[in-house]
Amino acid sequence: MNTEQALMQRSDSKCELCSSAEHLAVFPVAPYGDDDAERCVMSCQACREQLADGSELDVNRWHSLNDTAWSPIPPVQVLSYRLLARLSEHAWAQDLREMVYLDDEVKEWAVATELTASDDREPCRDSNGVQLAAGDSVVLIKDLDVKGTSFVGKRGTSVRNISLTNNPEHIEGRINGTRIVIISAFVKKTN
């Protein structure tokens, strides 16, 4: 059985990202370019166009990630995680990305291109100089007043599944259910 046949069988002849049954083709998930079914998804033409680097995402199309992100298939999990990262300006995508659990190996695969795509930027570092990546967990090293809210982020508070920003001195994370920008010098990376 070739890759396309294996993916058609696995996907029930539908796009594994949006469930469309039109214009299906094999889509290798970066950084892999091979035709191994374990590293590819079956996707429709519209999804392939949206997955292209630098393409603008149609937010309404990707509400399907509410279902797709929970797929047990690793390449589908990877693409869902990456798409949610690209959509992180929308609260629903941020919330979903924070809820999704990925095995360590799958998470490494998912963030592999995020890291290489940002190589031209200055890396974001914690208070100890350790490089931070999207999806890392950190702990606050001092109490922080959170502007626009009535609470203080207490020292020792854990912030999981952080997002990087365009500013290497800032990260985004959720404290007390509120998504905030945190100065990276006030956090320490955890395992």
In angstroms, rounded to a whole number, what is the distance separating the alpha carbons of residues 101 and 191? Answer: 15
Q: Report CA torsion sign: 143, 149, 151, 157.
A: negative
pLDDT of residue 98: 86
Q: Does 191 score more than 80 pLDDT? A: no
Longest dimension (CA), the chain: 60
Report residue 129 as tokens.
């100089």
Euclidean distance between CA atoms 154 and 175, whole angstroms = 10
For residue range 102-142, list pLDDT tens digits in order: 898 998 888 876 544 444 568 899 999 999 988 889 999 99
Q: Note if the pTM is more than 0.75.
A: no
Residue pair 126/157 in contact by the 8 Å Cβ criterion: no
Q: What confidence category does residue 72 fall into, taking pLDDT thresholds of 50, 70 and 90?
A: very high
Tokens of 95: 């919330």
Q: What is the mean pLDDT of residues 38-56?
A: 86
Strand partners, 139: 158, 188
* Amino acid letter, 146: V
4 in Cβ contact with 26 (< 8 Å): yes
**Measured torsion, CA atoms of residues 70, 78, 128, 88, in degrees rounded to the nearest 10:** -70
Which of 56-60, 107-111, 119-123, 169-173 is predicted least confidently? 119-123
Tokens 């033409």 belong to which residue? 45
